[in-house]
Amino acid sequence: MDISRRQFLQLAAGGGAVSGLIAAGVNLAPTIARAQALRIKDAKTTPSVCPYCSVGCATLVHTVKGAIVNIEGDPRSPHNEGTLCPKGAAIFQLHVNPNRPMQVLHRAPGAADWEVWDLTRAMDRVAELVKKTRDETFLERLADGKTANCTTAIFSLGGATLDNEWNHLQQKLMRGLGIVPIENQARI
């Protein structure tokens, strides 16, 4: 369809350029397809799975020289047919967000400022506090003599960005420590 410059401007002023063109019957599919192809041109596509829940929505991870440039739903998947929920659609930000903390920050009780800790120091401190709390609150037997073997002072809450494999290992660790209340934020 041929339209003059004046007709284009009238359509654009009447309802936005794109909606005006669509209303005029202009087929934008080739332009949209070309724009999408350019977005991932020269990228290596690797099939993957969304890490947020147990549905297992398939994703396509596009990388250029080892850097992730795009993540989208895989249209070949029978689970999600190329669509992703809001959390799944934000997977890309999990990898490239410039605000993502990349070091351990610790603020001592009563302190006003954060202190940067190396990972070994932070993990040692976590282990020390878990052991101390477990030792102080471990309950071997209930009042009626039944075996309990649990601690009532530690709660485990997994995050939505943890994949199923990590959640499985975390649950095994928590159960081994005698921690009963275990939940995952993805279900809340």
Measured at the CA of 58, the angle between CA 53 and CA 61, to 5 degrees, comes to 110
User: Are 79 and 28 contained in the same domain?
Assistant: no
User: Are 117 and 180 contained in the same domain?
Assistant: yes
User: Are 81 and 136 contained in the same domain?
Assistant: no
Range of the domain at 8: 1-39
- What pLDDT, on a 0 to 100 scale, did the predictor assign at position 108? 92
Give me the mean pLDDT over the 17-25 stretch: 61
Confidence of residue 8 (pLDDT cuts 50, 70, 90): confident
User: Are 88 and 146 contained in the same domain?
Assistant: no
Q: Has residue 106 got a pLDDT over 90?
A: yes
**What's the number of domains the chain is made of?**
3
Per residue in 145-165, pLDDT (tens digit) is 999 999 989 998 877 667 778
Read off the tokens for 35: 């724009």
User: Are 179 and 109 contained in the same domain?
Assistant: yes
User: Are 33 and 46 contained in the same domain?
Assistant: no
Q: Has residue 44 got a pLDDT over 70?
A: yes
CATH of the domain at 91: 2.20.25.90
Give the chain's mean pLDDT: 84
User: Are 73 and 133 contained in the same domain?
Assistant: no
User: Are 90 and 111 contained in the same domain?
Assistant: no
The structure's pTM equals 0.56
- What pLDDT, on a 0 to 100 scale, did the predictor assign at position 112? 95
